[in-house]
Structure 1
Amino acid sequence: MEIKAKQLDSVNASAHIKIPSQELKNEVQNLAKKASKTLKIDGFRPGHVPVAVILKRYEKQLQNDAEQNLLKNALNNALKELKKDSKELVGEPYFEKFDKKDEEIDIEFILSFKPDLKLDDYEKYIPQYSEPKATKKEMDEKRKELLKTHASLEPIKGKRALKEGDFAKFDFEGFIDGKSFEGGKANDYVLEIGSKQFIPGFEEGMIGLKIGEEKDLNLSFPKEYPAQHLAGKEVVFKVKLHEIEELKIPELNEELLKKILPNEKEPNAELLEEKIEEQIKNEKLLKLVDEELKAKFADALIENYNFDLPKGIVEQETDMQFRSAWQNFSEEEKKELSQNREKAKEKRDSFKEEAQKSVKLTFIIDGLAKLRKIDINDQELIQAIYFEAYRNGINPKEHFENYKRQGALPAVKMALIEQKLFNDIFFFSKTNKKGEK
């Protein structure tokens, strides 16, 4: 086996390997001899299966295993020549050439190693921003929302009609083309009118009804309705109102303050206002981080930190972005790219610049996370995936297994670390509150 390895830059090295065909044959023969001592084949005593039988029956598998063994040896020898440890590798070797000839296998691949980053001065790239403020209107609305969670429902007095904000108890049944459908019927259902829980027009159509009255609501399911067999269909809902309840929002008193602020020794209205103000500010800051600051910070990091990128990782990211974009190409473009290798390569390479930025940011985020001791443990990862599943009405265990099968768990973990890192920087770093932008 002939090996030539050389360092290309601080994180990439190339290896040129030539494996003589005789060496490959010898390895196949060695594997066949070992297998003959352990394999059980009908008609032969255990441990006495002729090598020729093994070679004939398992030729393809033995060939693949032999190649893998020789490649592994070649990789280890290349690392020795480069004076590198396998623990320093990132990603899989990126093969630029794998040419099988009669006399030899000619291989060229790139080995990539983790960049050594110095990020101690990262704080100077945190974008400046004005600390969010809470307006009186926002404070009033948030206080009302809070009191609403402690409100009680009381039946209305008199015979007034149903209005927005009321809670209605009613029966309903839906009909499409005169036939009822599964899931379209309920008795004594309680609904807040104006909550938009039902399809457009349903809650609005009930406004004005009085207790005991019935009404037919002629509506249509939205075209984007999740249940495809109902999407866009015209429907008639027959409703009968049984009861109307009003939400009675309580007055803020000492007893209620104790419920709202259970962990405070001396709960009072002033402290509640401080908590409400802090919550509003944090919500605004979170929105500002997600919509503006995170992107600005990421762009500044990418622009100001320059280092060699692992070529194998960049190529893998380029491939992934190209595959992701493929589904959005027109059928005409897909056909052209499938038939023209040059154009396909040109199109694929057009994603490389974005791939480089993505890989660069990933290493920076990984470095900053270690610097700030940010991590996501297995339990947090599982909880995040399960929460995503619950939110989308998917079986959480199956959702987790799908991520696992696709090898996507590391990417999910990195996304969670990124989110946790940026929140830590913007919410807890004193250096980022620098006044007006």
Structure 2
Amino acid sequence: MSLKVNRIDSANATAEVIISQEKLDKKLQEVIKSAGKNLKIDGFRKGHVPVAAIKARYGKQLEEDTQKECIQDILKEILEILKVEPSLLVGDPKITKFNPTKEGLELELKIGLTPSIPLDNLEECIPPVNIPEVSDKDIEAKIEEIATARAPLISIEDGRRKLKDGEYAKIDFEGFIDDKPFEGGKAENYLLKIGSKSFIEGFEEQLIGMKKEEERAIEVTFPENYQAKNLAGKLATFKVKLHEIQTQGKIEVDDNFAKTLLPEEKEANVEMLKEKVKAQLQAQKKHEIYNNELKVALVENLNKMIVFDLPQTIVEQEMDLLLRNAFASLSKEEQEKLVKDEQMLKAKREEQRENAQKSVKITFIIDAIAKRENINIPDNEVINAVYYEAMAMRQNPQEILEYYKNNNLLPAVKMAMLEDRVLMNLLDKKA
């Protein structure tokens, strides 16, 4: 056997290998012997199947298994030459040349290795963290909003009183398209807040000015992207009758109100409520600034300021993944055009390189920081996250979880959660 290993950098190596036919034959015998212990072929007792019968039935598979085992053996030798622990091997080697000959098998391999991640300048990568203080005005406005939301609705008895924006209308309505009623377009005693934008655009606005027991026909056009395809883009007429106008009552913000909001606090009062609301608003502000500004800036800094070699086998895999995602987003016509043009397909793949490099790099950095800071995401936390997301989307959590498992998506969810926690941790320390 001939073996030549070339260390390109800290994360990449190549190897040129010639496996002799003698070595392949010897390994084949080992594979056959191992397989024969468990094989069962009609006419022979288990474990007593002749070699010739095994070769006749499983020849091609045995040959492939032999080649795979030889490559695994060679890989161990390569890692020994490189003086690298097997645990530092990243992914499977990429076979760039596979040439069976009469003398044996010629191979060329690309090998990816886990790089060393320098974190000495990590502190410099973290952008300044300035969370604005919550003002007394913000606190009072939030408490007023809570009080208003909890206040009872009061019916307006004056029949001459007109419906205003922000008030509640109890209505009957029925929708028609081309003078024909459509499914789901009818309701009775429906309570609608004017200005909530919970109905089709233009519906609520046309109710303003109606009086109690008044009837009105209004026209609206369903959006082109409306979920019910049979209604999308259609002009509809709604016959509406207003039964009642309701307006929001008032709740006095006092210690009793605070006690209803803080039942677990024995000494609850308005001042304590203000402190709780202040903490909540402060957390919201932090969350918004972290997610809208600082996390993005931090990731960009990590990508630019922490320099190390990337295993190209992993970058190439990420490029393939990004290409598949980009391909799936194209129209059928664009997909067909791309498949027919090899050069265009290669160019499209090459477009993904920069993003692939960044994705792989950030993944390595996040993993290194997580290990240093002893940050981890337990599996049950990942499952809970999938469950909550499914419930928020009104989907069956068990079905979604099975889908994630069957499509091997849970590691990606876990990595996303780990990245979020690491970034939050870095920003919190800076703050």
- TM class by smaller structure: 0.7 to 0.9
What root-mean-square deviation, in Å, do the aligned CA atoms of Structure 1 and Structure 2 show?
A: 3.1
Q: CA deviation at 1:25?
A: 5.1
Q: How does 1:388-407 map to 2 (within 5 A)?
A: 388-407=389-408
2-side partners of 1:383 and 1:293: how far apart?
26
Q: CA deviation at 1:361?
A: 1.7
Q: Hey, what does 1:435 align to over in structure 2?
A: none
Q: CA deviation at 1:225?
A: 1.3
Q: Hey, what does 1:16 align to over in structure 2?
A: 16
**1:58 and 2:58 aligned:** yes
Letter in 2 for 1:270: E
**1:348 and 2:349 aligned:** yes
Classify the secondary structure of the residue corresponding to 2:131. Answer: coil
Classify the secondary structure of the residue corresponding to 2:150. Answer: coil
Normalization by structure 1: what TM-score? Answer: 0.85
Q: 1:405/1:109 Cα in 2 relative to 1: closer, same or farther (>3 Å)?
A: farther
Q: Hey, what does 1:90 align to over in structure 2?
A: 90
Q: How does 1:194-233 map to 2 (within 5 A)?
A: 194-233=195-234
Q: 1:92/1:238 Cα in 2 relative to 1: closer, same or farther (>3 Å)?
A: farther
Gaps of 5+ in 2: none
Q: 1:218/1:26 Cα in 2 relative to 1: closer, same or farther (>3 Å)?
A: farther
Classify the secondary structure of the residue corresponding to 2:117. Answer: coil
Letter in 2 for 1:252: V
The question of whether the paired residues in 1 share the 8 Å contact of 2:211 and 2:242 is answered with: yes
2-side partners of 1:333 and 1:186: how far apart?
45
**1:154 and 2:166 aligned:** no
Moved more, 37-46 or 121-130: 37-46
TM-superposition CA deviations, 1:126-169 (whole Å, max 9, x none)? 21244313356544432222223422233333323333333333
Q: Hey, what does 2:262 align to over in structure 1?
A: 261
Q: 1:9/1:188 Cα in 2 relative to 1: closer, same or farther (>3 Å)?
A: same
Q: CA deviation at 1:394?
A: 3.7
Q: CA deviation at 1:41?
A: 4.2
Q: How does 1:235-246 map to 2 (within 5 A)?
A: 235-246=236-247
2-side partners of 1:331 and 1:169: how far apart?
47
Gaps of 5+ in 1: 433-437
Q: CA deviation at 1:381?
A: 1.3
**1:375 and 2:347 aligned:** no
The question of whether the paired residues in 1 share the 8 Å contact of 2:118 and 2:307 is answered with: no
Q: Hey, what does 1:191 align to over in structure 2?
A: 192
1-side partners of 2:118 and 2:263: how far apart?
45
Letter in 2 for 1:385: V
The question of whether the paired residues in 1 share the 8 Å contact of 2:322 and 2:352 is answered with: yes
The question of whether the paired residues in 1 share the 8 Å contact of 2:131 and 2:289 is answered with: no
1-side partners of 2:78 and 2:34: how far apart?
27
Q: Hey, what does 1:4 align to over in structure 2?
A: 4
TM-superposition CA deviations, 1:73-102 (whole Å, max 9, x none)? 332333333333322222232333333445
2-side partners of 1:30 and 1:256: how far apart?
81
Q: CA deviation at 1:23?
A: 4.3
Q: Hey, what does 2:112 align to over in structure 1?
A: 112
2-side partners of 1:342 and 1:100: how far apart?
29
1-side partners of 2:35 and 2:94: how far apart?
31
**1:277 and 2:278 aligned:** yes
2-side partners of 1:408 and 1:342: how far apart?
31
Q: 1:314/1:147 Cα in 2 relative to 1: closer, same or farther (>3 Å)?
A: same
Letter in 1 for 2:311: P
TM-superposition CA deviations, 1:240-267 (whole Å, max 9, x none)? 3343332223111111112223444543
Q: Hey, what does 2:175 align to over in structure 1?
A: 174
Q: CA deviation at 1:355?
A: 2.0
Moved more, 74-83 or 195-204: 74-83
Q: 1:153/1:34 Cα in 2 relative to 1: closer, same or farther (>3 Å)?
A: same
Normalization by structure 2: what TM-score? Answer: 0.86
Q: CA deviation at 1:280?
A: 3.0
Q: CA deviation at 1:330?
A: 7.6
Letter in 2 for 1:186: A
Identity %: 43
Classify the secondary structure of the residue corresponding to 1:202. Answer: coil
Classify the secondary structure of the residue corresponding to 1:8. Answer: strand
Classify the secondary structure of the residue corresponding to 1:114. Answer: coil
2-side partners of 1:91 and 1:37: how far apart?
31
Q: CA deviation at 1:12?
A: 2.5
1-side partners of 2:219 and 2:312: how far apart?
61
Classify the secondary structure of the residue corresponding to 2:188. Answer: strand
